[in-house]
Chains A and B, each alone.
Chain A
């Protein structure tokens, strides 16, 4: 079992290593390079749909990385860069879609789920409060059954 888990882990990590794509770009400083890495990590490849353009080897991803780099050099802001790619390839390339009427449910689902959970918890709490701590957990009839069961057990042990 441990061996299988280990094998899985090795496979998983080797996949990540193999997916890395090396491009040679010059950046004036660390911060710029980090900014570039963040940008290409949050843009999605339209061809190989479950990869970002940082990981993808598709020619179109290379073109998109080139475009990101070029626009950065030209002094464009992150929003301008993302907008320009969205204008060409569609909302699809955003891994973080904008909040609008179409994506409302997508963004609101976690909040709705948490709210639903809270309501259920609140309902359970209120119901148990209403029953009151002093009201006995078992009715007289149930108590009699339990007593009988315990007595039976004592007899046989």
Chain B
């Protein structure tokens, strides 16, 4: 008993060490979306390019989609734009944009200047769909399967490494089942 007690501090240190070690390298600012496994929330918002067209959640039916949340006020969105262009043009990825808390003129100007990687862009100036999606900071990118169900959410910039290591596996998986 006495001898066991002598080893108790070592034991506690080991347990604490393992627990703390497991936390190293994890980014606490990246949260898993509460919507994973759930369908895209219902919405009814205008098309950025054409204010007469109203888009809704049926937009996500039929093929696997990347939903990219962006705004011209968001510097990191500019950083990822070239990589989104690359995804759309080189890889043929189906990307839908959610123009979040922005205004139409600025957004269209931005697309004119930098190019448009999106198949469709949902115009959400008041951030209602963004709120329902649990968006807490642009850019965010969702993988949505052909049934319109959210598979994954990535918070932060999408680049080639993020695509290959994080999004592509989920994307392929969604395609396999979709």
Question: Is B133 a contact partner of A90 (Cβ separation < 8 A)?
Answer: no
Task: Say yes or no for A42: interface residue by CB 8 A criterion.
Answer: no
Instruction: Determine how close the nearest CB of chain B comes to the CB of A90; give it in whole angstroms.
Output: 4
Q: Mark contacts of B112-148 with chain A using CB atoms, 8 A cut-off: 1 yes-contact digit, 0 otherwise.
A: 0000000000000001000111111100000000000
Give the residues in chain A near B162, CB-CB below 8 Å.
Answer: none
Interface string of B1-33 (1 = CB under 8 A from A): 000000000000000000000000000110111
CA distance A42 to B151 in the complex (A): 29
A46 touches B31 (CB 8 A): yes
Q: How far is the CA of A47 from the CA of B33 in the complex (A)?
A: 13
- Are B34's CB and A91's CB within 8 A? yes
The answer to whether A47 and B34 have CB atoms under 8 Å apart is: no
Assess whether B101 is interfacial by the CB under 8 Å rule. yes
- The answer to whether A98 has its CB under 8 Å from any CB of chain B is no
- Indicate if the CB atoms of B31 and A60 lie closer than 8 Å: no
Distance in angstroms from A74 CB to nearest chain B CB is 16
Residue total for A at the interface (Cβ-Cβ under 8 A): 15
Query: Counting CB contacts under 8 A, is B35 at the interface?
Result: yes
Minimum CB distance partner of A92 in chain B:
B31
Contacts of A47 in B (CB 8 A): 136-137
Q: Give the residue of B29, B133, B134 whose beta carbon is less than 8 angstroms from that of A49.
A: B29
Residues of A within 8 A of B136 (CB): 46-47, 58, 60, 89
Q: Are A88 and B137 in contact (CB under 8 A)?
A: no
Q: Given A47-B137, A49-B29, A60-B137: A89 and B127 within 8 A (CB)?
A: no
Q: Which residues of B contact A63 (CB under 8 A)?
A: 127, 131
B40 to chain A, nearest CB (A): 12
| Nearest CB of B to A107, in Å | 17
Residue A86 is within 8 A (CB to CB) of chain B in the complex: yes
Q: Is the Cβ of B35 less than 8 Å from the Cβ of A88?
A: yes
**Complex: A46 Cα to B30 Cα, angstroms:** 9
Chain A CB within 10 Å, residue with most, of B29, B35, B132, B134: B134
Determine if B131 and A67 form an interchain contact, defined as CB atoms under 8 angstroms apart. yes
* Contact of A132 with B by CB under 8 A: no
CB atoms of B31 and A90 under 8 A apart: yes
A87 adjacent to chain B (CB < 8 Å): yes
Chain A 73-108, CB-CB to B under 8 Å as 1, else 0, gives 000000000000011111110000000000000000
A88 (CB) vs chain B CBs: closest residue: B134
| A89, B35: Cα distance in complex, Å | 8
Q: Which of A49, A86, A90 contacts B32 (CB 8 A)?
A: A90
**Which residues of B come within 8 Å of A, CB atoms?**
28-29, 31-35, 101, 127, 131-137
